[in-house]
């Protein structure tokens, strides 16, 4: 159970653009998923927290998150050990951790390279990640990835297909192809592109759903939009980071597109795939971002109505181009902007999710979550093709990896609730 919780938290972090560090010394954040059931396991947690307390003396900005049943243990007993802990959260809701990281350790946008190192720990999960392309040739001024991960390198299609077949044999049904710019796939090889790769993965028996992340607006072609529409197992959802809603900021970020270009790209996507679910990433408080520039981001979020916006306050990364520039937006103002985006987006996401209530969606079951102290009844957790998180009560015959129609009965900005049904219509 602990393992499954860890994988889920890991997935949420990867989805938000964070990556694994090679060593504890390299990490900007550490998450301890503690177990209070066995004394020995419990002691390990305290030992780990003691070690992290020491590490924080040299790395004061290190974020330490604590989750798992340790968090529900006696608070008085916990208190002396909690000193290095910045955030505690329930394993089912990583939002407090993600918000803390957004404030203190913003994601490297699309940094997934080390997912491979964790593949062995995710055995049996129906949802798996596979690297399609490594590195990045761009030079976004806030980003360290090109300096750390090297040039863009696509993996040969046959190697990717082979790996997915192995994962399928171990229970995978939903595959996410990863890359810093996954839709540049093939550019460095010549002759092949992401739609070609998607077509080949679609032919693998037993793989029901294919996703890809992260996409770059400049590589979002009509051909790729048509592939999303036409290839049966490719899901109708995409993360297309805009990062800022004003041309001055985009230029300083060296993103290589304008707000107008981004808006046209979204129009194109929606005209080809009308029911597509869209998410984006936004950085607030970048060097030189005025209130007027920031309003551009709010306008864009308001107009384009994303299903989700991953927002982060800008913080300098050593070794990036922007590291040389003046970080001139005060921390309090960055947080104000971050909360403004969150407020806007929460309303939009709730409104979008409410439209699912009363409909039936095909949900791929990920795992059964047993009852724990301080949370609701035991329930299943799964996702729609649009990547909407769905919770439903247990019913006979449900197993991880199964796709079932679910009648949606309620919605929050972050998830849907429903019950297993035999109805046949699915919004997306």
Cα end-to-end distance, the chain, whole Å:
30
For ligand SF4, which is the closer residue by CB, 143 or 198?
A: 143
Buried-exposed string 368-383: b where 16+ CB fall within 10 A, e elsewhere: ebeebeeeeeebbbbb
C-alpha angle 190-191-196 in degrees, rounded to nearest 5: 125
* Torsions phi, psi for 333 (to 5 deg): -70, -40
Closest approach of ligand SF4 to the CB of residue 256, in Å: 9
Closest approach of ligand SF4 to the CB of residue 12, in Å: 20
- Provide the token pair at 344: 């806007």
The Cα–Cα gap between 110 and 195 comes to 20
Closest approach of ligand SF4 to the CB of residue 103, in Å: 19
- Provide the token pair at 63: 């974020």
Q: By C-alpha distance, which of 394, 401, 390, 329 is closest to 364?
A: 401
For ligand SF4, which is the closer residue by CB, 133 or 390?
A: 133
Residues interacting with ligand SF4, by CB under 6 A? Answer: 109-110, 136, 138, 140, 143, 145-146, 180-181, 216
Closest approach of ligand SF4 to the CB of residue 427, in Å: 31
The Cα–Cα gap between 75 and 96 comes to 19
The Cα–Cα gap between 53 and 261 comes to 47
Query: Do residues 34 and 90 lie in contact, with contact meaning Cβ atoms separated by under 8 Å?
Result: no
For ligand SF4, which is the closer residue by CB, 136 or 349?
A: 136
For ligand SF4, which is the closer residue by CB, 84 or 179?
A: 179
With residue 153 as reference, give the H or E element that holds it. strand 153-154
């Amino acid at each position: 159970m602990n393992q499954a919780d860890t994988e889920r938290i890991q997935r949420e972090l990867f989805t938000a653009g964070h990556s694994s560090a090679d060593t504890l010394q390299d990490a900007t954040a550490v998450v301890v998923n503690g177990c209070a059931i066995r004394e020995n396991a419990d002691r390990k947690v305290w030992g780990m927290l003691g070690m992290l307390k020491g590490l924080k003396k040299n790395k004061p900005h290190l974020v330490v998150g604590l989750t798992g049943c340790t968090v529900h243990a006696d608070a008085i007993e916990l208190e002396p050990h909690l000193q290095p802990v910045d955030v505690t959260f329930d394993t089912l809701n990583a939002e407090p951790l993600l918000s803390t990281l957004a404030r203190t350790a913003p994601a490297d946008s699309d940094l997934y390279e080390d997912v491979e190192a964790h593949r062995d720990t995710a055995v049996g999960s129906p949802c798996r990640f596979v690297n399609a392309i490594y590195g990045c040739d761009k030079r976004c001024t806030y980003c360290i990835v090109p300096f750390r991960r090297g040039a863009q390198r696509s993996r040969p299609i046959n190697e990717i297909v082979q790996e997915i077949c192995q994962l399928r044999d171990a229970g995978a049904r939903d595959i996410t192809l990863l890359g810093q710019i996954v839709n540049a796939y093939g550019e460095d090889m010549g002759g092949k592109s992401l739609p070609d790769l998607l077509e080949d993965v679609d032919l693998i028996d037993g793989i029901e759903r294919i996703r890809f992340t992260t996409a770059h607006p400049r590589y979002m072609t009509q051909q790729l939009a048509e592939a999303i529409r036409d290839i049966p197992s490719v899901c109708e959802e995409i993360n297309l980071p805009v990062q800022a809603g004003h041309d001055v900021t985009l230029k300083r970020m060296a993103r290589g597109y304008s707000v107008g270009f981004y808006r046209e790209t979204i129009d194109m996507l929606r005209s080809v795939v009308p029911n597509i679910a869209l998410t984006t990433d936004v950085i607030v408080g970048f060097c030189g971002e005025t209130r007027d520039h920031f309003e551009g981001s709010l306008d864009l979020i308001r107009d384009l109505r994303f299903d989700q916006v991953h927002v982060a306050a800008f913080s300098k990364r050593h070794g990036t181009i922007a590291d040389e520039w003046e970080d001139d937006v005060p921390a309090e103002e960055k947080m104000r902007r971050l909360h403004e985006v969150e407020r806007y987006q929460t309303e939009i996401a709730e409104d979008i999710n409410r439209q699912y209530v009363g409909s039936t969606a095909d949900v791929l079951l990920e795992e059964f979550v047993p009852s724990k102290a301080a949370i609701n009844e035991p329930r299943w957790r799964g996702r729609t093709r649009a990547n909407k998180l769905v919770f439903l009560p247990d019913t006979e015959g449900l197993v991880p990896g199964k796709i079932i129609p679910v009648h949606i009965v309620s919605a929050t900005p972050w998830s849907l609730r429903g019950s297993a049904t035999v109805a046949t219509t699915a919004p997306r």
